[in-house]
Amino acid sequence: MRIGSGTSLSLSPFGAILATVALASCSSSNGGLTVTSTATSTKTVTSSGTGTQTGTVTLTVTTTSTSTSTVACGGAGEACCTGRICNGPSTVCSGGGGGAGTCVACGGPGEACCSASSCGSGCCVNNTCVASGTECSVGGTCANGSCGTCGGNGQPCCTQTGGRADSCTASAVACSNGTCAPCGGSGQVCCAGDACTAAGTACNGTSCVVCGGAGEACCAGRRCNAAGTTCAGGGTGGDTCQACGADGQPCCTGAGNACSSSGSQCVGGVCGACGAAGQACCTSGTACTASNTACTTRAGGGGGSTCEACGGGGQPCCEGGACAGGGCCVASTGGGAAACVASGGACGNGITGTCSGSACGNCGAAGSPCCSNDRCTAANTTCNTSTGNCVSCGGRGQACCGGGRAGGGTCSSGNACRGVATDAGGGVTYTCDACGASGQPCCGIGGVDARTCNSGLSCAAAGSGVAATATCQ
């Protein structure tokens, strides 16, 4: 059948085809700001079988694609780096709010005030620099940072529009109890824009405190200096440098592993055990480490993915569509998740016959006819719609099990599901190819952050929609 703009897919016994690329949060360094864009599209398609394969099946296909780019940050005219930091000389982060904004020139007449309200010999009035000798909008003439009788160190705070006497116009002073007092030093009040001027300090609440050490406030840009710590607390003030990486602790950031314990991974910003029954699926290596478990996404998509018991009657099918004791992996006709039918049980879901030896009567096993709606029921098999027979899948050069696109279909270890164009009209076939080496598909399934490459390489996404790929670089 044909979907969307001409992508050809075959239905499979493993339910809906879900192609996802995991979102990555924005990050920055002196090298630039990493920005991730995501696009999602959903189509519902109905296919009718004819001849010996009759019936109708409706399949909902959701495709989420991600593209990642790195943009320069911190210089004049560039985006502000994380924490609204600008690195260029005489620049300050302006506009946007939160983590957005642009680095603009500051300190000159008519420009934005630099950090700590600095305008050289001028005055900072309503966050705009006024030249010395020029009349201030709050009254008086600017001289050495003071607007006449207000705004300078030790003078009363100036009254802004609206009648609030709460502004200072000199550099490195802030309004405190109606008087402009020094700001930015350790133990002093924070300057305008929550700025601190003393090295190794950060604004915590209303005061500048020593930052970066374990248990101390995070420095600018949510940075911590102590090894084995990360900035945690929500990003709205009061954040501290906390121990990270162990189970139950915040995930570490920057270079190195987010979680230090073997068998642990970062879930919702916290490190926790993964891979065992009832635990979150691991995002690197084998998703589920316990025997007879499979990574299952709960209905509705909001419950996350957990390792659940598989292979028994009524349980999800194990990897490759395997069921214990000669059971049959039967997908629902509505495209839902496939489940195991125990040997001797009725296959159901529109398939007549009794399960025996992983086949439903005379259909579903390798070399046997496909069951209704192009379904196969034995492990590591898929329906070849050209011949109407079930064939082996998952091995190198074979069709992907699950019938899905890259990121949805499964292959044996050391291989990954990869789509290859088959005609000028946009037809695509999905086969298992070698993975993990430079230029090869990333190993595993799921989003980019859940897939793996050989040592020294990383998985990166490119393109969008059906054309999206994830390769090792």
Instruction: Return the closest-CA partner of residue 317 out of 337, 299, 291.
Output: 337
Instruction: Return the closest-CA partner of residue 117 out of 81, 153, 88.
Output: 153
Last residue of a domain, one of 151, 182, 213: 182
What 8-state DSSP symbol labels residue 467? G
Domain-embedded: residue 297: no
C-alpha neighbours within 13 Å on the C-beta side of residue 170: 25
Alpha carbon 204 to its chain centroid, in Å, reads 29
The mean pLDDT of the chain is 77
Residue 277, strand partner residues: none
Q: Residue 219 in contact with residue 199, Cβ under 8 Å?
A: no
**pLDDT (average), residues 427-440:** 84
Same domain, 119 and 55: no
C-alpha neighbours within 13 Å on the C-beta side of residue 308: 16
Predicted confidence band at 98 (pLDDT cuts at 50, 70, 90)? low
Helix (H, G, I), strand (E, B) or coil at 320: helix
Domain-embedded: residue 238: no
The CA distance from 405 to 66, in Å, is 15
Predicted confidence band at 4 (pLDDT cuts at 50, 70, 90)? very low
Same domain, 171 and 95: yes
- The predicted pLDDT at position 445 comes to 63
Alpha carbon 10 to its chain centroid, in Å, reads 29
Q: Is the pLDDT of residue 472 over 60?
A: yes
Domain-embedded: residue 466: yes
The CA distance from 72 to 51, in Å, is 60
Same domain, 62 and 97: no
Domain-embedded: residue 283: no
DSSP code string of 39-69: EEEEEEEEEEE-TTS-EEEEEEEEEEEEEEE
Q: Residue 108 in contact with residue 64, Cβ under 8 Å?
A: no
Same domain, 438 and 401: yes
Domain-embedded: residue 355: no
Helix (H, G, I), strand (E, B) or coil at 362: coil
Number of domains in the chain: 2
- The predicted pLDDT at position 388 comes to 93
Q: To the nearest whole percent, how much of the chain has pLDDT over 70?
A: 73
Last residue of a domain, one of 182, 207, 233: 182
Same domain, 66 and 103: no
Same domain, 127 and 47: no
Domain-embedded: residue 328: no
- The predicted pLDDT at position 2 comes to 29
Last residue of a domain, one of 136, 154, 182: 182
What 8-state DSSP symbol labels residue 311? S
Domain-embedded: residue 434: yes
**pLDDT (average), residues 345-364:** 94
Q: Which pLDDT tens digit goes with each residue over 28-87? A: 444 456 554 444 444 444 444 443 444 444 444 343 444 445 678 888 889 888 778 888
Domain-embedded: residue 162: yes
Residue ranges making up the domain that contains 62:
2-72+397-472
